[in-house]
Amino acid sequence: MKKIISPKALKKGAKIAVISPAGAVDPSQLEKGIEMIKKRGFEPVLGEHLYTKFSNGYNYAGTEQERLKDINWALNEKEISAIWASRGGYGCQHLVQHLKLKNFAENPKWYIGYSDNTVIQSYLLKKGFASIHGQTIKTSSFGVTDESYDLIFDVLKGKSLKYALKSHQFNKTGTIEGELVGGNLALIYALLGTKYSFDFKDKILFIEDIGENFYALDRMIMSLELAGVFTKIKGLIVGGMTNMGDEKENKQYEESFDEFAYKLISDRISKYNFPIVFGFPNGHIKDNRPLIIGGNVTIKVEDKVKIEF
């Protein structure tokens, strides 16, 4: 088994690249996040095309070539110590075939993001590098808790993550240890069958999503089922399921942990006996606490849940 490399801790004054690999952003949407990096004692370095806009059926942060230029710069620039995505959206799949890691491999750095950034994180893990599945620089309409960012900076400084959660009615008890994979379910689903898909064998899978109709959620879970994912993994963590279902018919859509979405997932995988944690605070939610993709994690699911990296 390939040993996964976690980037080294950042020193005060270290440079953090801020890039937009997917959707377009306005400067006003990043002001607080960029200022936060400065206040924490680090230097934000903005990608050339951070605020570029290119419309092609979707508002991208530049053409594929422009976004690729920024991410490859950030990955390989020796003076950069970490990379923080401005937002998700859509567009990372355009870049994944053309990513370069020559200098990155010599000087691994944390990549921070979630949502569409799951594609980049799957690629990095394939190459043997861990990343942070956590809040982007752009704060969402539902806001972000201070702790969501505090914990990311803790990881950047070399601290470990430990979580204690309340039990959930759909949890399955047990104790497991293993490598964490996953992220946004739609992107895990989109990568299935490609060489960029996660390796699920003996891994612990994390999933979260937003804005999917229940039939679409079921379709994605069924695709994982048909691909044999649930026969390979040894544990599952389910995070935020936000704005799920048909908003006109289902009044639960504003819930961050949609109970019907959870029931649908629970029913689909009821025949499997691995430990399952529902309600982890990560995803398209206000309390978006980081996880380490590629990190070794121990999970104890009993009356309460403990998760430690």
- Whole-angstrom distance, CA of residue 20 vs CA of residue 49: 7
DSSP for residue 271: T
Q: What tokens were used for 274?
A: 């691995």
Q: What tokens were used for 56?
A: 């092609």
Q: For residue 211, is pLDDT > 60?
A: yes
Mean pLDDT of 252-273: 87
Cα separation values, 298 from 25, 52, 107, 168, Å? 37, 41, 27, 18
pLDDT of amino acid 2: 77
pLDDT digits over 1-58, tens only?
Answer: 679 999 999 999 999 999 999 999 999 999 999 999 999 999 999 999 999 999 999 9
Q: For residue 254, is pLDDT > 80?
A: no
Strand ranges (E), the chain:
15-19, 43-46, 54-55, 59-60, 80-85, 110-113, 131-133, 162-166, 174-184, 204-210, 235-242, 276-278, 291-293, 296-301, 304-308
Strand partners, 241: 209, 257
pLDDT digits over 223-248, tens only?
Answer: 999 999 999 999 999 999 998 987 55
Phi, psi of 40 (to 5 degrees): -85, 0
pLDDT digits over 160-178, tens only?
Answer: 999 999 999 999 999 999 9
With cut-offs at 50, 70 and 90, classify the pLDDT of residue 142. Answer: confident
Mutual orientation of helices 259-268 and 214-226 as an angle, nearest 10°? 20
With cut-offs at 50, 70 and 90, classify the pLDDT of residue 255. Answer: low
Strands 43-46 and 54-55: unpaired
Q: Where in the chain is the domain with CATH 3.40.50.10740?
A: 15-156
pLDDT of amino acid 219: 98
DSSP for residue 22: S
With cut-offs at 50, 70 and 90, classify the pLDDT of residue 139. Answer: confident
Q: For residue 249, is pLDDT > 90?
A: no
Q: Where in the chain is the domain with CATH 3.50.30.60?
A: 162-308
Q: For residue 253, is pLDDT > 50?
A: no
CATH class given for the domain over 162-308: alpha beta
* Average pLDDT in the chain: 95
Architecture of domain 15-156: 3-Layer(aba) Sandwich (3.40)
Mean pLDDT of 76-103: 98
Contact 140, 284 (CB under 8 A): yes
Mean pLDDT of 195-215: 97
Cα separation values, 292 from 67, 179, 226, 258, 297, Å? 24, 9, 27, 24, 9
Show the CA angle centred on residue 208, arms to residues 270 and 231, nearest 5°: 35
Rg (CA), the chain: 18
- Whole-angstrom distance, CA of residue 128 vs CA of residue 123: 9
Catalytic residues: 115, 208, 284
Q: Among the residues of 45-145, which ranges form H helices?
A: 64-76, 92-95, 102-106, 118-126
* 3-state secondary structure (DSSP) of residue 241: strand
Which position has the token pair 């029913």?
A: 267
Q: For residue 119, is pLDDT > 90?
A: yes
What's the burial of 300, exposed, middle or buried (CB within 10 Å: 0-12/13-18/19+)? middle
* 252: CB partners within 8 A, 6+ apart: 244, 245, 258, 259, 260
What's the burial of 236, exposed, middle or buried (CB within 10 Å: 0-12/13-18/19+)? buried
Strands 174-184 and 296-301: antiparallel
Contact 274, 236 (CB under 8 A): yes
Q: Quick one: how far is CA 211 from the chain centroid?
A: 16
